[in-house]
Structure 1
């Protein structure tokens, strides 16, 4: 017996070795499952707001041009690794000195404000739209509320110890005011002023001039 053979013989195998001159049924090795992590994601999406009636369709739609001007810009980044997700938002050209609510929603933007569906929730509330603080909170949803400076610029960041379900998070919606937290109103932030379609969980650069 070589050293390599001896090193590959487990105690259980050695104890059950078959005496010479006898036979035994062949054994089947049972594979040990290996715990794997979801693939990492690095995403950067950018767009310029335009009304839904614009001749050239945009991935960023404004439904209220007084508060989210046509031509204003938005960028959203996602970095996800193992079971952690970070989402960053940056806007320019909005009304200065104003607080907006912003959340990740379940559907892409459409011609109507409600086309983007409800908020994305890690643990889904059976009652939608959800206003229960047990579900409608910044830990279970992605809230990106921000206040613009005098130039109309703002940025926000959200971090979570979970990953988006594939295809279940499709947009970021900007609302008219900051997000409420009280029972019966939790998660609400007024009218949907604008929407930005974002392919979450899909790595790469996404925007008007990308090839995605």
Structure 2
């Protein structure tokens, strides 16, 4: 019951609609060019779309919802989470591959202009490429209930589309040689194709 009420609140805050979040499904939003994914985090199992790799940072039963809305001139991404550690900073980025059994399975960060010197995993650490204008950074700090909302708009559209949202253990760094890093991958939500 608590999870259903909590996830309903998450979806209300995000202003999105989706398939049954208890099933960990994905659904389309109501607007043109809008995609929504929701999930309740669990340990890895085949078919799970919301996976926690660190149950202390992202407990089983915590929830996340991502809405991606593309327009002609750009893209707005909104992340809503609940059930995480209270009053704690996290990093969050869009990644190029779906979630898998291992944290690295989601590959590197989605980039508008790809860093030619970086492989897909680990991600680029060159601030010329690993920056909030070329990637989608959704860092957040939870409130005293473990909930948070983050939204960002970039002036480009996705091609290819991101396949996952990864929650990291730390806020995203910006300096040379560490730009785009945010600690271990604590959890992953697979996004629709």
TM over 0.5: yes
1:139 paired with 2:129, answer no
1:107 paired with 2:97, answer yes
> With structure 2 as the length reference, what TM-score do the two structures score?
0.79
Looking at structure 2, the residues matched to 198 and 66 of structure 1 have their Cα atoms a distance apart, in angstroms, of 23
In structure 1, the residue matched to 2:183 is: 190
CA drift of 1:84 comes to 1.1
Looking at structure 1, the residues matched to 106 and 157 of structure 2 have their Cα atoms a distance apart, in angstroms, of 20
Looking at structure 1, the residues matched to 173 and 185 of structure 2 have their Cα atoms a distance apart, in angstroms, of 14
In structure 2, the residue matched to 1:48 is: 40
1:96 paired with 2:92, answer no
Per-residue Cα deviation, 1:19-48 (whole angstroms, up to 9, x for no partner): xxxxxxxxxxxxxxxxxxxxx411121100
CA drift of 1:81 comes to 1.0
In structure 1, the residue matched to 2:146 is: 152
In structure 1, the residue matched to 2:58 is: 68
**SS of 2:68's equivalent?**
strand
Looking at structure 1, the residues matched to 41 and 70 of structure 2 have their Cα atoms a distance apart, in angstroms, of 26
Aligned residues: 158
Looking at structure 1, the residues matched to 40 and 117 of structure 2 have their Cα atoms a distance apart, in angstroms, of 33
Moved more, 42-51 or 100-109: 42-51
**SS of 1:61's equivalent?**
strand
Gaps of 5+ in 1: 1-39, 201-212
* Contact 1:48/1:58 (<8 A) preserved: no
Per-residue Cα deviation, 1:130-179 (whole angstroms, up to 9, x for no partner): 1110000000000000000010000100101110003x410000000000
Q: Which is greater in Rg?
A: 1
